[in-house]
Structure 1
Amino acid sequence: MGVITLLTDFGHTDSYVGVMKGVIAGISPHSQVVDLTHGILPQDILAARFNLLTSYGYFPGGTVHGVVVDPGVGTQRAAIAVQVATENGGQMVVAPDNGILTGFPITAAVALVNADYWLTPQPSHTFHGRDIFASVAAHLANGVPMEQLGTPLAVSSLVRLSLGNAVATGHGYLGSIQYIDHFGNLVTTILGHKLTGQSWQVCMGGRMVRYSTTYGHGEPGEALALIGSHGYVEIAVNGGSAAQVWGAKVGDDVELVTLPRG
């Protein structure tokens, strides 16, 4: 019995998360269930992807991640389980096939069509998180081989999102905002490890933002650009919300300019 994480857009007002945990407890009572987050805004697939992508590497090999941000529930979209390569032996994710796993190092995938591992052979049209994903995650945590859950899928056939990844320019990188966190920090698609040993600044909406190493290195209300704990360049406002101050949204263009040495 291992670790099962849950990531949803269900919030905490309703009983949906608790019901999923109840299903897991009934099938795999000794598994440790971790709430990764249930604060994803409704139907925000991009935010769900970002939160899982920047989190799964901190969990032990064999962890099963249950992801339910599923605007297509009850439609023809597939329910899937995938194997994800990690340095500590691999993990598994159960999720809707709606692009939420774009960019993950997936090595195998199956469509969850074997009803023996669902909570019920007649699942609700509106709550696959309870009737399919929670149940399947619990069975995986119990050691059921992934291939028993359904039919194999070609990894290349899975739905992919168009993310506007950062591209190199003659003087830096052109990227976009991929996520806005709880504090209003604007997380870009530009990876910080590409900037090692360089001085740089960020331009967005015609405004230049200087580089800083941390949020507090600036005057209150000052905009700063830094490399966040997730490894991406982000724009923040000391003591405030960059999203509110700038009126920014996911998808807005961001340019990073490297500066001459000296």
Structure 2
Amino acid sequence: MGRGVITLITDFGTRDGYAGIIKGVILKINPQVRLVDITHEVSPQDIFEAGFILKNSYRYFPNMSIHLVVVDPGVGSRRRAILVETDNHFFIGPDNGVFTFIYEFERIKKIIELTNKRYFLPYISNTFHGRDIFAPAAAYLSKGTSLEDLGEICDDVVRFDIPRPETERGIIKGVVLHVDRFGNLISNIPEVLFRELVGKGRYEISIGGEVLEDIKGSYSEVKEGQALAVFGSSGYLEISVRGQNAREKLKLNKGNEVKVVYK
């Protein structure tokens, strides 16, 4: 079974050595594994953001990839360290809800609480479980260590509530779930829901004080500095400003309402 890829999602940033240290721990155990940085720029301690980025990323990696997520505001507490196995991927990180989207969209085969200290580093810091628990567990898993050797089966896991769009006659109400590096406001309204309810009918999209009367196919369809709605690469309705940061220009952020009114 090939487990030759480990991806990394953290909120460590790149100024300090934390992300590099995790890679060092993994490579010391398995020098042959391939490490891929998805991002180390998750907003500090933002579990939901980490989960959303994971949701939009993991499917593009080879089957049997191991996805290591370390956004862990509860480090040092009694929260568990877990390993989640789905049909085609493995996920390692804290049991704090960061894998909620995985539980929602994947068939879960097994969840293991990482308890076997044989596969940890000898000294466990109360502030850096990414180095001392998660990284070595991922490395040993990539070498073929069985899930059962790494720990014990667990069933009850932490989940957060995923904001879902609300629908009523002629209206879809959503919220901004995520703001990317460019300031694009990514809502929780999926394109498939929009197509199902709105189809080719007339509609308008409102967010804050902006009212947009159509969805564009690309940013180039509007003038520089003009707001637009577009279905982004994640499959959700996004509000953007061509050539500028929509969050800053429109003074909007995560949690703001996005409304589609259609006939």
| TM-score normalised by length of structure 2 | 0.92
Q: CA RMSD in A?
A: 1.4
Instruction: Mark the runs of 5 or more structure 2 residues left unpaired by the alignment.
Output: none
Secondary structure of the 1:103 match is helix
Shift of 1:206: 4.3
CA contact (8 A) 1:201 1:225 kept: no
1:126-205 equivalent positions in 2, closer than 5 A: 126-154=127-155, 157-196=156-195, 197-198=199-200, 200-205=203-208
Shift of 1:46: 1.4
1:223-262 equivalent positions in 2, closer than 5 A: 223-258=227-262, 260=263
Question: Match of 2:210?
Answer: 207
CA–CA distance in 1 between the matches of 2:260 and 2:116? 48
CA contact (8 A) 2:26 2:139 kept: yes
Code of the aligned partner of 1:238: R
Code of the aligned partner of 1:142: K
1:8 to 3, 7, 10: 10
Deviates more, 1:58-67 or 1:38-47: 38-47
Question: Match of 2:120?
Answer: 118
CA–CA distance in 2 between the matches of 1:166 and 1:28? 44
CA contact (8 A) 2:10 2:41 kept: yes
CA contact (8 A) 2:7 2:36 kept: yes
CA–CA distance in 1 between the matches of 2:25 and 2:161? 34
Q: Give the ranges of 4+ consecutive aligned residues of structure 1 lying more than 4 Å apart after TM superposition.
A: none
Q: Percent identity?
A: 41
CA contact (8 A) 2:239 2:246 kept: yes
Shift of 1:187: 0.3
Shift of 1:163: 2.5
Shift of 1:12: 0.7
CA contact (8 A) 2:11 2:45 kept: yes
Secondary structure of the 1:216 match is helix
Code of the aligned partner of 2:157: L
CA–CA distance in 2 between the matches of 1:97 and 1:206? 39
Secondary structure of the 2:249 match is helix
Name the CA shift for 1:209/1:84 in 2 (closer, same or farther; >3 Å). Answer: farther
CA–CA distance in 1 between the matches of 2:153 and 2:250? 46
Question: Match of 1:93?
Answer: 91
CA–CA distance in 2 between the matches of 1:216 and 1:126? 46
CA–CA distance in 2 between the matches of 1:143 and 1:246? 50
Shift of 1:198: 3.2
Code of the aligned partner of 1:84: T
| TM-score normalised by length of structure 1 | 0.92
2:78 equivalent to 1:71: no
Q: In the TM superposition, what whole-angstrom CA distance separates every residue of 1:26-52 from its partner, at most 9, and x where no partner exists?
A: 111111000010011111111111111
Code of the aligned partner of 1:247: K
Question: Match of 1:39?
Answer: 41
Shift of 1:101: 0.8
Code of the aligned partner of 1:222: Q
CA–CA distance in 1 between the matches of 2:25 and 2:131? 7
Question: Match of 1:102?
Answer: 100
CA contact (8 A) 1:28 1:139 kept: yes
Deviates more, 1:52-61 or 1:193-202: 193-202
Code of the aligned partner of 2:186: V
Code of the aligned partner of 2:178: Y
